[in-house]
Amino acid sequence: MPLFFLIPLFTGLITGYFLNKENDEIGYISGVLTAISLIFSLILAPWQVQLGLLVVVLFGSKKLLQKKMYE
């Protein structure tokens, strides 16, 4: 399984981490670009990774909904 989809993810996360401390517009722009790179890397991810994330989201949301109903 090629791991080239991790390149935009790590690039965005590293850039967002270093520029997150800025209070100017550059901090907000880096946050938006980090979110875009996360979406882009999920699009490029192999189907096994996408399926695994889908299963985690479905079962995690079901457990959270059940927990919230009983509170």
Q: Locate the domains of the chain by residue range.
A: 6-69
- 15 close to 29: Cβ distance less than 8 angstroms: no
Which range among 2-6, 12-16, 23-27, 67-71 shows the weakest confidence by mean pLDDT?
A: 67-71
* Residue 70: predicted pLDDT: 67
Structure tokens at 52: 């695994």
- Mean pLDDT, the chain, rounded, equals 81
Per-residue pLDDT tens digits for 30-62: 778 888 888 888 888 898 988 998 898 888 887
Percentage above 70 pLDDT, the chain? 89
Q: Dump the DSSP string for 11-66.
A: HHHHHHHHHTT--SHHHHHHHHHHHHHHHHHHHHS-HHHHHHHHHHHHHHHHHHHH
Q: Return d(Cα 34, Cα 31) in angstroms, integer.
A: 5
